[in-house]
Structure 1
Amino acid sequence: MFSYRHAFHAGNHADVLKHLTLVATLRHLMRKDSPLTLIDTHAGAGIYRLDTDAAQTSGEAEAGIARLSNLSASENSKQNSSQTHVYQAEKATGSIATVLQDYLDLIAHFNPTATSSAPRVYPGSPFIMHALMSEPERAAVHDRLRLFELHPTDIQALSAHVAQLHAGRQISAARQDGFEALKALLPPPVSSGGSRRALVLIDPSYEIKSDYAKVAAAVQDSLKRFATGVYLVWYPIIPRPEAHSLPRRLKTLTQQAGRTWLNATLHIGQSSQGSGLTASGMWVINPPHTLKAALDEALPQILDVLSAHRGSGAAWTVEQGD
């Protein structure tokens, strides 16, 4: 059950899609000055070093965030012929997509002493959410962040990382099943202004088949408890029946609840080794009206960079519905 460690996969293409969607969604939600309850059901260690043996062994960050970070490199770097393919997206459009630049700037914030464009530190979802909720123009709102993780090593690391933030009661990290924890947190508490707002990120490893059914059950229960919440569900696109049927199941549950939805996918193409995850998706319930346009602009640029020198199958999609 605890064989999966995200340290081997931090900063890969799936993280790029997940965190780009998360940033774009939160930027919109944080335009309102009423507080948010932010919940991460599978928080992992919170933040990761990309120069560890784990990250170096998989090389997934090198093929993910490291490649994308070159988009924000200096003009001199852009003239380097060995990097020409990296900048095809920027040259084609004239500029980096707004949400992509926002995401890359956020990653750079965690790497202030980096001597190259490749980051040495990658923030997981908990630290991305904390970074946005603690920005000067947002900090006074006092959003709350609730983190859950079952892996004994990762929850220990997560708790230590959170303690270093000195955020007090604004952030909590618990060794608890995030699926079960949702039941006690929804609906969220009423703010002083009388509103209830929450964003829930559900991103298990799916290392066991039962995770797919648990995701669907958690979404169904959450929508009954708090139909107006914003729910982000990450899922792998792999040749497994449970994985193939999950988006269809989520669509059915969303439509039964009478809510809007958005489904974004990213497939970076087959690798020369022919193994490893190559595609994933983000299902968003009650998405901001700005999200589709933001992803439509950013995903082609991301695919142009991450699919370079790979095999067939590279593609991206963004669909939405009522």
Structure 2
Amino acid sequence: MNYRHAFHAGNFADVVKHALFCRLIGYLQRKEKPFRVMDTHAGRGLYDLDADEARRTGEAVEGIDRLVASPAWDDPLLAEYRAAVEAARARFGTDTYPGSPLIARQLLRRQDRLSAYELHPVDAGALGELFAGDSHVKAIELDGWLALGAHVPPKEKRGIVLIDPPFERTDEIETIVEQLARAHARWPGGVYAVWYPIKRPAQHRRFHDLLRESGIPNIVAADFRREPHTAEERLVGTGLVVVNPPYTFAAEAEAIFALLQPVLTLSPGAECGIHVLAEE
């Protein structure tokens, strides 16, 4: 699956991913000690929902647009997410949607830092321009997998790594598990959040199985399907695997899914679930 993000910015998968991501950052904010956010596949950082790519698919209409128009947008569980989206729109325009690095930046405190990596030269250039002059952010044109191998642990020794690959390669899930295991061996105390699409049932099961067999402890998967699997094998859901999740994460993810389900689902056959793939 070629997941070119400019075509999908603000869709239901973004909403789910970013709502959960913000809660993970919020948990790190509970202590005064500084933390680092590392975004291995950062993209451009900001997307114009009125641009040709976004209008061609119209996916934001069934994602962030639905959420903003719903009562769920006012729920305290989405407070960090709402604050990040609204701050970006106040600065860049109401037709924009912030990518993960910009959302993370909106939530950083004075003592926290962000490292955002992007390999594509055009997107890396846009990312660098977005954060130009920002002393809290390093925007680096670099393969995210190389960054993950070379830049953990960060000097803060606290933080979260967001791994959000495009799923263009047939061996993407194997690469994720392999790279995640290597990073965890170098920095076992870090929080790792891995986004993934839910499209083919066999691939979804294999990904979870590989994580169970990886030897990495303390893994939780939060799966959100807005419709049943289809014969066309299209994107029907999204998930976030979290290594070293906060103790509140499973319950909060379940509550967030309860908020988002009536807003984002397309079918009565939609299902959500929180799965413990490895115990502490």
- TM-score between the two structures when normalised by the length of structure 2: 0.91
Residues 147, 173 of structure 1: 8 Å contact kept: yes
| Structure 1, 262-271 or 281-290: larger mean CA deviation | 262-271
- Do residues 267 (structure 1) and 262 (structure 2) align? no
Partner of 1:45: 44
Residues 232, 284 of structure 1: 8 Å contact kept: yes
- Do residues 237 (structure 1) and 201 (structure 2) align? no
For residue 59 of structure 1, report the CA deviation from its aligned partner.
Answer: 0.8
Partner of 2:76: 98
Counterpart AA for 1:214: T
Q: 2:148 aligns with which of 166, 182, 185?
A: 182
> Which whole-Å CA distance do the structure 2 matches of 1:221 and 1:112 have between them?
40
> Which whole-Å CA distance do the structure 1 matches of 2:114 and 2:79 have between them?
24
For residue 276 of structure 1, report the CA deviation from its aligned partner.
Answer: 4.0
| Structure 1, 291-300 or 279-288: larger mean CA deviation | 291-300
- Do residues 124 (structure 1) and 99 (structure 2) align? yes
Partner of 1:153: 122
- Do residues 289 (structure 1) and 247 (structure 2) align? yes
Q: 1:317 aligns with which of 249, 256, 273?
A: 273
Aligned CA distance change for structure 1 residues 297 and 28 (closer, same or farther; 3 Å): same
Deviations, residues 39-87 of structure 1 (Å, cap 9, x unaligned): 111000011111111111111111100000012xxxxxxxxxxxxxxx5
Counterpart AA for 1:98: P
Residues 271, 311 of structure 1: 8 Å contact kept: no
Q: In structure 2, the residue corresponding to 1:61 is in which secondary structure?
A: helix
For residue 121 of structure 1, report the CA deviation from its aligned partner.
Answer: 1.1
Aligned CA distance change for structure 1 residues 130 and 312 (closer, same or farther; 3 Å): same
For residue 159 of structure 1, report the CA deviation from its aligned partner.
Answer: 1.2
Deviations, residues 187-244 of structure 1 (Å, cap 9, x unaligned): 222x4xxxx2121011101111122221111111011101110000011111174443
Residues 179, 214 of structure 1: 8 Å contact kept: no
- Do residues 299 (structure 1) and 274 (structure 2) align? no
| Structure 1, 220-229 or 310-319: larger mean CA deviation | 310-319
Aligned CA distance change for structure 1 residues 271 and 12 (closer, same or farther; 3 Å): farther
Partner of 1:15: 14
> Which whole-Å CA distance do the structure 1 matches of 2:92 and 2:138 have between them?
30
Q: Which runs of 5+ in 1 are unaligned?
A: 72-86
For residue 278 of structure 1, report the CA deviation from its aligned partner.
Answer: 1.8
Partner of 2:182: 221
User: CA RMSD of the aligned region, Å?
Assistant: 2.5
Q: In structure 2, the residue corresponding to 1:281 is in which secondary structure?
A: strand
For residue 113 of structure 1, report the CA deviation from its aligned partner.
Answer: 8.3
Deviations, residues 146-178 of structure 1 (Å, cap 9, x unaligned): 111112221121111111xx313x311222111
Q: In structure 1, the residue corresponding to 2:59 is in which secondary structure?
A: coil
Counterpart AA for 1:63: E
Q: 1:280 aligns with which of 238, 263, 267?
A: 238
Aligned CA distance change for structure 1 residues 151 and 300 (closer, same or farther; 3 Å): same
> Which whole-Å CA distance do the structure 2 matches of 1:275 and 1:121 have between them?
29
Q: Which runs of 5+ in 2 are unaligned?
A: none
Counterpart AA for 2:253: L
Residues 28, 159 of structure 2: 8 Å contact kept: no
> Which whole-Å CA distance do the structure 2 matches of 1:289 and 1:304 have between them?
26
Structure number, greater radius of gyration: 1
Counterpart AA for 2:259: Q
Paired positions, count? 278
For residue 301 of structure 1, report the CA deviation from its aligned partner.
Answer: 1.7
> Which whole-Å CA distance do the structure 1 matches of 2:92 and 2:147 have between them?
37
Q: In structure 1, the residue corresponding to 2:53 is in which secondary structure?
A: helix
- TM-score between the two structures when normalised by the length of structure 1: 0.79
Aligned CA distance change for structure 1 residues 270 and 108 (closer, same or farther; 3 Å): farther
- Do residues 202 (structure 1) and 155 (structure 2) align? no
For residue 98 of structure 1, report the CA deviation from its aligned partner.
Answer: 2.1
| Structure 1, 152-161 or 224-233: larger mean CA deviation | 152-161
Counterpart AA for 1:124: G
Q: In structure 1, the residue corresponding to 2:213 is in which secondary structure?
A: helix
For residue 22 of structure 1, report the CA deviation from its aligned partner.
Answer: 0.8
Q: In structure 1, the residue corresponding to 2:166 is in which secondary structure?
A: coil
Aligned CA distance change for structure 1 residues 123 and 249 (closer, same or farther; 3 Å): same
- Do residues 167 (structure 1) and 134 (structure 2) align? yes
> Which whole-Å CA distance do the structure 2 matches of 1:312 and 1:249 have between them?
30
For residue 101 of structure 1, report the CA deviation from its aligned partner.
Answer: 3.7
For residue 112 of structure 1, report the CA deviation from its aligned partner.
Answer: 2.9
